[in-house]
Amino acid sequence: MASFQAQPLQALLDGDPYKSIGLLGHGAYGIVDKVERRSKPGVIFARKTVRVSGPNGPSNLQTAQNEARVIRRLKHQHIISILELYTHRNELSIIMLQVADLDMEKYLDLADSVTEKKQRYAIRLPMQMWPGCLIQAIDYLHEMRVKHKDLKPSNILVKDNHVLIADFGISKDLVDEETTASLITHRPSGTPMYMAPEVTRSSSRGRAVDIFSLGCIFLEIATVIMAAPGSLKRFSEFREIDGHRAYSGCPMKLVQWIWHLWGYWDQYCQLRRRRQLPYDDFLEHGAAVYDLAFLMLDPEPKTRITSRQLVSMMHARELYYRGSIKSKACEDCGEGPVIVQSNLPLHSVYKATDNLLHPETPEAALETNIAANWDEVKRLWLEHHMWWDSQELAE
């Protein structure tokens, strides 16, 4: 593919056409602020600005141009969109249509800290929409042959309780590649905390890297939705090994934490059967979220679930995800027909069984070594509960 040539919609000006009215944050390679157009005050936009002079200038320019090229051809309600690109002095600016209230990282931290019952209910309620919307958005990206490569809560914006995927600075556009795998062998790009294992190994990596990162995000969402206040901070501390908390470096810690959340679910179900507890929509929904997170966090990319299979499971009438993930998504993502390949098998099909291994309590799960490795966990939990064919999952 020919390299993207910056053709600013606004020519180089003596004065900046936009006025900054507040700093929003610092992106991977630039400053993001809130702006209004000087000629039409009152309408607010977000602007990312990068310096294109100096020793890092050429690299910054290339990264900004790549981000603009990728975003401009994406049209989705949960992906940020660009209004224009312009230069001023030694800086290049991208004007984005959406100004977020805050990013998901800040939202999750805030929701995790709230203890008052009514406030906690109100702040968690919009979070039920996010898993279904993010599945649809990532599937759209992958269908458009784009890898984000740096999915993390701080790169997902929250605007009017809806999510927007942003920061495509290191995205990989696959339209000029023969396969879905990137053959890059230089040092990994992205955020180590949410990197897939194959990225940290600097091996070939395809769209499955986004699925792993999304699984990390799903596990954090499930934690805030299901567990006690302060659990997200506790989860971060629990998975620390030798001073590191990256998801890829502690697969069995992730299993234990999923089992911890399962403990909340299991206690709830027991009390429900004895009619000692009312219906809890957050626990019902959260169980489906951590369930999918387990499939997305598979350390082996060839057996990791794909975005297309996530969509298939979300819309399958025979699976409870239809009621717990699809029905909670926003109107655009939850309604209307979804076309999936008729010959695409579901990644996992649940079977009726009573011989699953259950944690005695949420706390007991954190003190128990369930298995030696991830594959053994799959055999223990899923051989009678779910199935999948690794050959069908290969990209």
Q: pLDDT tens for residues 299-351?
A: 999 889 999 989 988 888 878 888 899 999 999 887 755 655 555 667 776 65
**What pLDDT is stored for residue 392 in this prediction?**
39
Whole-model pTM? Answer: 0.85
CATH architecture of 102-393: Orthogonal Bundle (1.10)
Q: Which of 256-270, 292-306, 380-394 has the lowest mean pLDDT?
A: 380-394
Residue-wise pLDDT tens digits, 184-229 = 333 445 678 999 999 888 766 789 999 999 999 999 999 999 999 9
pLDDT above 70: percentage of residues in the chain:
81
Residues of CATH 3.30.200.20 domain(s) within the chain? Answer: 18-96
Residue-wise pLDDT tens digits, 72-98 = 888 999 998 888 888 887 888 888 887
Residues of CATH 1.10.510.10 domain(s) within the chain? Answer: 102-393
Residue-wise pLDDT tens digits, 220-246 = 999 999 999 999 999 999 999 999 999
Closest CA relative to residue 381, chosen from 294, 269, 319: 294
The C-alpha atoms of residue 312 and residue 322 are separated, in whole angstroms, by 10
Reported CATH class of domain 18-96: alpha beta
Alpha helices in the chain (DSSP H): 57-72, 104-113, 117-124, 130-143, 197-200, 208-226, 231-238, 251-273, 281-296, 307-315, 321, 331-334, 362-365, 374-382, 390-393
353/311: higher pLDDT: 311
Residue-wise pLDDT tens digits, 113-147 = 999 999 999 999 999 999 999 999 999 999 988 88
